[in-house]
Amino acid sequence: MNHRENPQGRVGHPDGADLPATDGAAVPDGTRPRVPEAAVPGGDRSALLAPHYSMFRVAERMLLTGHSHQAWPDVAMAGQVEAFEDAAREVDAKWGRAMAKADEVRAGFRRFLGDPSAELALGGNTHELVLRFLSALDLRSRPRLVTSDGEFHTLRRQLGRLAEEGVEVVRVPAEPAVTLAARMAEAVDDRTAAVLVSAVLFETARIVPGLGELAAACGRRGAELLVDAYHALGVVPFSLDGFDAAWVVGGGYKYLQLGEGNCFLRIPPHAAGLRPVITGWYAEFAELAADHREGTVGYPAGAARFAGSTYDPTSHYRAARVFGFFADHGLTPSVLRRISLRQRGLLTAGFDALDIPDDLVTRDREGSPGDFGGFLSLRSPHAGRLQARLAERGVLTDSRGEYLRFGPAPYLSDAQLAAAVDALGEEVAALRREAGSPVPGS
């Protein structure tokens, strides 16, 4: 798959199609300077970006957890202070300003979804949004859900509990990812209420191609399709072309640097008549739809049908500032993808140069760089041990079972990535010495 393709196997933005202007002039509102020529990605971008993350001290620390929790730019703090100031000034009247910030957050997510008119319900986490989605399904007449065994814990745990209550949950093996969508399509039948799958697998970083074909299979059977785009947004260009009927769930805790409390559920056009059982009183803010009758719960039109209840708006103030920062610095989907491909390429080349035996640490070498998301996933029976030892050396990674994950971010330098790989090599050498195995060069 070409590296300019999105998780659905459709061609994304051509390189440079949405690069920022480079003439140094101001944008129309006169407040956001355009990105200078030197900022157009093509090399190490850390000198331009790292100063804007001074509170996270990204230039002094090796934060290779970019696939989990990226650093926040300093403007995020200004957003949090603004939230407090609005509350102090407006008290309960702050909600008008808070809801305006929520609209800014929706607009930011729409840019990364490539869907400028997307109906988006917001939530503090993807779990609450998935619950609202599941509660809108007719599980009495279609008591079957299809998913993969490579889904994040949000789906894994909740679907496992539903299975205990009698819902049939079919888990299709996630590997090989290249055929996952096709195999899931084969598993869909007339009893299937929904298919739930990731655009990028959280353990292996594998992009799942063919989601458009999976959506077509769901449509033929009358099943819903929910795509978890969390590991795509901000690192792999995403497009809904070809499967507009899909639901999409995701958030900004990872690559978008929005922090906690910023998640969304994209509501497809055909969902206008669904009535989620799990529903919050914010769904009554908008004008109630015509289906409201005495003795029934009414629902508004659009994404508000899936609204929750009172929330802490501070997260949206922070997110609105960060989305603005991304716009100011030209951090568009295609630019971020090129940065990611380059950084992941440096990590993989460095790892391969270590020439570590596969039984100690290995990586997936099938396919091309464009078949992977934004982190390097290494497989090792010592993943947890290596993660802990690297942390002691100041190299922050994470591990999920037998997977050790290195997640770069745009503000990290080439030198930092190289130092992280060197530290891994030294820790693997230490493991070999402890096991009495020969260490090359010793």
Question: What's the pLDDT score for residue 342?
Answer: 97
d(CA 120, CA 362): 40
Which tens digit of pLDDT belongs to each residue from 38-61?
444 458 999 999 999 999 999 999
- Convert 360-420 into a string of H (helix), E (strand) and C (coil): CCEECCCCCHHHECCCEEEECCCHHHHHHHHHHCCEECEEECCEEEEECCCCCCHHHHHHH
For 173, the token pair is: 């093996």
Name residues of the chain where pLDDT drops below 50.
1-41, 288-290
pLDDT at 129: 98
- Give me the pLDDT at residue 5, please: 33
The b/e string for 234-244 (b: 16+ C-beta within 10 A; e otherwise) is bbbbbbbeebe
Q: Would you call 285 helix, strand, or coil by DSSP?
A: coil
The rounded distance, in Å, linking the Cα atoms of 374 and 378 is 13
Q: How is residue 277 annotated by DSSP?
A: S
Task: Please give the pLDDT value at position 291.
Answer: 53
Q: How do residues 247-298 score in pLDDT, each as one tens digit? A: 999 999 999 999 999 999 999 999 988 999 999 989 987 554 445 566 788 8
Note the pLDDT of residue 396: 98
Partnered with residue 300 across adjacent β-strands are 288
Q: What is the reported pLDDT for 295?
A: 75
What integer pLDDT is reported at residue 33 of this predicted model? 39
- In 3-state terms, what secondary structure has residue 183? helix
- Residue 184 has a pLDDT of 98
**pLDDT for res 137:** 98
pTM of the model: 0.88
For residues 67 and 200, the answer to whether their CB atoms sit within 8 Å is no
- The span from the CA of 267 to the CA of 226, in Å, is 10
